Amino acid sequence: MNTLFSRIGDYLLKKALESECKKAGLVSILTQLSFGNVEYLRSKNKSDTSSEAIVMLHGAASDKTSWVRFAKYFRSKLPLVIPDLPGHGMSVSDINLDYCINAQTVRLKELLSALGVKRAHLIGNSMGGAIALHMAASSPDLVSSLVLIDTAGVEACPSWLKQKFEHTGINPMVELSNASDYRAMMHIGMENPPYIPGIIVSALAKDFVNRKAINVKIAKDIEKDLDQIESLSKIVTPSLIIWGAADKVMHVDNAELLHQRLANSQKIVIDNVGHVPMVEAPKQVAAACSTFFAGVVQ
């Protein structure tokens, strides 16, 4: 019975994600790169030969599907590229790879080169924001603009999660054992998680628990070069900072530090929202991003 329940949950999860991608006008593509396969979502009705694209980068232990609700409301004349970063989702997840920020940036540049993208508008959440900052500082010719959503790598104040980890030695965003842990993680990451049927939560939790070893590895690897503060003075590209006021993972005070250090930036803080505003408030975040890109995309 449990096996049947699990299979039904997996099937329903797959169909739900396919439906959401269809509504957002996204198709899934798998490509082979030097380090392994990368799966990504791309705009269905936009040119596959564009040299400019909007690229969305998810956080650690997340995947490309965290952007689908946002993409449904986001408006842009440029194609969207939404990868499962290596170690995540359907992309290569080799425990022997290094998943530090610099290594992930190098792999992202290889992906963009393979897709013919010469100028990227990067939207990054959490770890994805740190990768976006690193790329903007190290390869400014590749980055046209930045949207930084509750980004990692710039700490003005320790978060609730960091203090919890220092006190217990356990990271409740990574070290999960069951569906109950998964629900607890959702409530840490989001102030108001969207409703998800229990059978689908069970399927999501099972996948997450199965990825525990690689998620722990990624969490350790990114600590090696997560701090991006010293590189901020090198970044002059137009930047939009978006933060959830109730973020327990990255303290909202970090938004102001980032705003002060990025010369060409603007800041939006959204009340009653946690660490993933593009999931909790997709319409509001999409509207803010659409307005921003209307001013920076030629």
> Bridge partners of 37?
32
* CATH number (domain holding residue 147): 3.40.50.1820
The candidate with the shortest Cα–Cα distance to 93, out of 36, 143, 147, is 36
- Under DSSP, the state recorded for 193 is P
Question: Distance between CA 249 and CA 173 in Å, rounded?
Answer: 9
d(CA 227, CA 240): 19
**pLDDT beneath 50: ranges in the chain:** 1
Q: What is the pLDDT of residues 160-186, one digit of tens each?
A: 999 999 999 989 999 999 999 999 999
pLDDT of residue 19: 94
Residue whose entry in the numeric block shows the structure tokens 């963009």: 112
Q: What is the pTM of this model?
A: 0.96
Domain that holds residue 247: 2-296
pLDDT score of 90: 97
Cα angle vertex 65, ends 64, 70, to 5°?
Answer: 105
**Residues 245, 247, 250, 252: what is their CA dihedral angle, to the nearest 10 degrees?**
10
The token pair at 138 is 């190290």
Q: How many domains does the chain fold into? A: 1
Q: How far is CA 206 from the centre of its chain?
A: 20
- What pLDDT is recorded for position 46? 66
Q: Provide the H-helix boundaries in the chain.
A: 2-23, 68-73, 101-114, 127-138, 160-168, 179-189, 198-210, 212-222, 253-261, 277-280, 282-296
Q: What is the DSSP string of 28-84?
A: EEEEEETTEEEEEEEETTS-TT-SEEEEEE--TT--GGGGHHHHHH---SSPEEEE-
